[in-house]
Homo-oligomer: A and B are copies of this chain.
């Protein structure tokens, strides 16, 4: 769709109240390893992160790396088991996990952000002796949980959990637009929320309990998903709040 420059200017002007809502706030974005596979998508995401900072929002990106870790473990002939959606890591595996996360995916994302004009520094839980984080990465190695802990520690205004589904679905497979944490607990209890969505929603509850204003579970494959959620009147995914 072609938009005239005058319409572009108007659309920019309409973004002001959204920018003001998040002015000076910290927004933690959990970006899945799946999305890193497509370089064009990853670069577009990096550019959107730079735009947030340009608009006086403080973005923190937490990334996973499941597929890349799996691929590297495969190339090295190492097998790993999973339980409740979380990888069970032995001493041998954890070295590869750390190496792929901190040395490959992290640096690729840092490179994309900085090439888009940002000034990112990539940190792992070991850097600066961030003890809590380190404990988490060592024993659990789950980026959603880590993102929730980081968002709580930073008292983020929003935690965006970018996944490959539209959000939390009800029993008719329709998207639930908004949930309180009490609603969320009830839907877990009655089985509406199930499978891999359970730990995601539990992370949301955990983060909100530690001071995050709201969490959005949303589809990271939608182009400019982060901007769509934060800077337009279009509420993406499922908003979970107190």
Q: Are A3 and B12 in contact (CB under 8 A)?
A: no
Instruction: List residues of chain B with CB within 8 A of the CB of A20.
Output: 50, 54, 117
Where the two chains meet, the residues of A that have a C-beta atom closer than 8 Å to any C-beta of B are 1, 3-17, 19-20, 23, 44, 47-48, 50-51, 54-56, 75-76, 95, 98-104, 106-107, 110-111, 114, 116-124, 126-129, 222-225, 227-228, 231-234
- A3 vs B12: C-alpha distance when bound (angstroms): 12
Q: Are B117 and A107 in contact (CB under 8 A)?
A: no
Query: Cα distance A175–B107 when bound, in Å?
Result: 41
The secondary structure that dominates the A interface is helix
Is B103 touching A126 in the complex (CB atoms < 8 A)?
Answer: no
Does A129 contact B123, Cβ atoms closer than 8 Å? no
In the bound complex, do residue B6 and residue A222 qualify as a contact, i.e. CB atoms below 8 Å apart?
yes
Residues of chain B contacted by A13 (CB below 8 angstroms): 44, 47-48, 51, 224, 227
Q: Which residue of B lies closest to A114 (CB)?
A: B129
A222 to chain B: closest residue by CB: B6
Q: Which residues of B contact A10 (CB under 8 A)?
A: 223-224
CA distance A122 to B101 in the complex (A): 14
